[in-house]
Amino acid sequence: MKKILFVFGTRPEAIKMAPLIKEFSRFPELFQAITCITGQHRHMLDQVLAFFSITPDYDLNLMQPDQSLFDITSKGLKALEAVLEDCTPSLVFVQGDTTTAFLGALGSYYKKIKVAHLEAGLRSGNRQSPFPEEGNRIMIGHLADFHFAPTNTAQKNLAQENIRDNVYVVGNTVIDALYLGLSILKEEEATYLRFFHKLDFTKKIILVTGHRRESFGAPFENICLAIKKIAQTFEDVEVVYPVHLNPNVQGVVNRILSDQPNIHLLAPLEYPHLLWLMEKSYLVLTDSGGIQEEAPSLGKPVLVMREVTERTEGIEAGTAALVGTDRQTIVQKVTELLQDQPVYESMANAVNPYGDGTTSQQIVSLLQGIQL
Ligand code: UD1
Ligand code: UDP
């Protein structure tokens, strides 16, 4: 029996870890799946845990309002030491590029425990954007023993840094989570219609999310001003923005966007609600990593409000377009998608490059054949 410890702490990590934890749990004679949440997020993490029925074995409960990178890093590393000593896993899984993921990899390395990195090999090529995620993923890549890369591009990125051993291209578990989520929510259409009763679904829904640290300040203000302009220009549009709980996001969004009747600012949505709303949307305007990967599976064009993206496969496949944080450019690209049907159709019908929903199965069968 191999003890596998999953260390995670934020909403997207929980969504992308959940299907893998469930898959490992299907083989209790081979694996014991143990979960440690840092609680880097609280409410936004607990929402996901509840939906996927995951009860953590360890909860470090780290989150503080408006925490700094130093807060989470220093407290988290010390708290993880005790968990790793108590749990003594054969392998620790970390996901993506958050501070929690970096801590999980670093702590395991200090304890000489093997590390598996889920969603390995993403690179923007710019350490300042996304910040601090690009730095985190480079450091995790060099600490990890197993690298589960979502795409061939990610594998090539790792090879460029001389990371060539134990690299497996398996797709992204975000698509496993999406299918799992959709299968659960299909039965409850009326519940979702009731929940979103303030929205007019005869209009085109633009789903917006935005939270990246490197955009705080002027770029984030520009993003909000662009959204306001779009809502003012197109009366047949409903903008729906579930606002991230980071106070640096909440402050600007509420100041600039709260007075426009066709802009709906919502609390962070539970994952099934988000999927249901995305399915009903016309297009998605976001800086989120996970949403760039999910939306193409629902046939929704994604406009990425960042200067660079590590999800280049979506841009190449035509499912997404990079629009930066310039107000004019965002407005112009949204206008094009609202008015030019052929452009819209070509984005909506492009094929999702991020996986087919079998990533968790592939990882578990690979690890069945590996001596840990
Ligand atoms: C973090 C990750 C980012 C990821 C994002 C997903 C780092 C450095 N950043 O950014 O990579 O894309 O999560 O959403 O790892 N807050 C709450 N309740 C919550 C969650 C957050 O109140 O449930 C507030 C708190 O004031 C907290 C702040 O948001 O201090 C920032 O949270 P933090 O995890 O540090 O950064 P994010 O911007 O969420
Ligand atoms: N998400 C959610 N509720 C919301 C907004 C996003 O459940 O209100 C989900 C979304 O479907 C995706 C993930 O959260 O799977 C993305 O998380 P986030 O944008 O916070 O982080 P990122 O992916 O940018 O790291």
| pLDDT tens, residue by residue, 206-263 | 999 999 999 999 999 999 999 999 999 999 999 999 999 999 999 999 999 999 999 9
Mean pLDDT of 338-347: 97
- CB of 269 shorter than 6 A to ligand 2: yes
Question: What's the pTM value of the predicted model, to 2 decimals?
Answer: 0.98
- CB of 52 shorter than 6 A to ligand 2: no
Structure-token match 């409850």, residue found: 188
Residue 138: how many other CB atoms lie within 10 Å: 15
Q: What pLDDT is stored for residue 183 in this prediction?
A: 87
- CB of 280 shorter than 6 A to ligand 1: no
Q: What pLDDT is stored for residue 372 in this prediction?
A: 85
Report the SS3 class of residue 51.
helix
Pairing between β-strand 204-209 and β-strand 263-266 as defined by DSSP bridges = unpaired
Mean pLDDT of 145-156: 98
- pLDDT-based confidence at 371, cuts 50/70/90? confident
Q: Is 213 a catalytic residue?
A: yes
Mean pLDDT of 328-349: 97
- pLDDT-based confidence at 323, cuts 50/70/90? very high
Four-CA torsion 102, 105, 106, 107, nearest 10 degrees:
120
DSSP secondary structure letters along 185-227: HGGGHHHHHHHTTTS-TTSEEEEEE---GGGTTHHHHHHHHHH
Q: What pLDDT is stored for residue 166 in this prediction?
A: 98
Separation CA 124–CA 153 (nearest Å): 11
Mean pLDDT of 37-66: 97
Go through the domains of the chain in sequence order and give each one's CATH number: 2-172+356-368 (3.40.50.2000), 189-348 (3.40.50.2000)
Residues 6+ apart with CB under 8 A from 298: 178, 275, 278, 279
* Residues 160-197 pLDDT 10s: 999 999 999 999 999 999 999 988 877 678 999 999 99
For the chain, what percent of residues have pLDDT higher than 90?
96
Q: Which ligand is nearest to the CA of 76?
A: 1
Residue 5 has pLDDT above 80, yes or no: yes
Q: Is 11 a catalytic residue?
A: no
Q: Is the dihedral of CA 178, 180, 182, 188 positive or negative?
A: negative
Q: Which ligand is nearest to the CA of 216?
A: 1
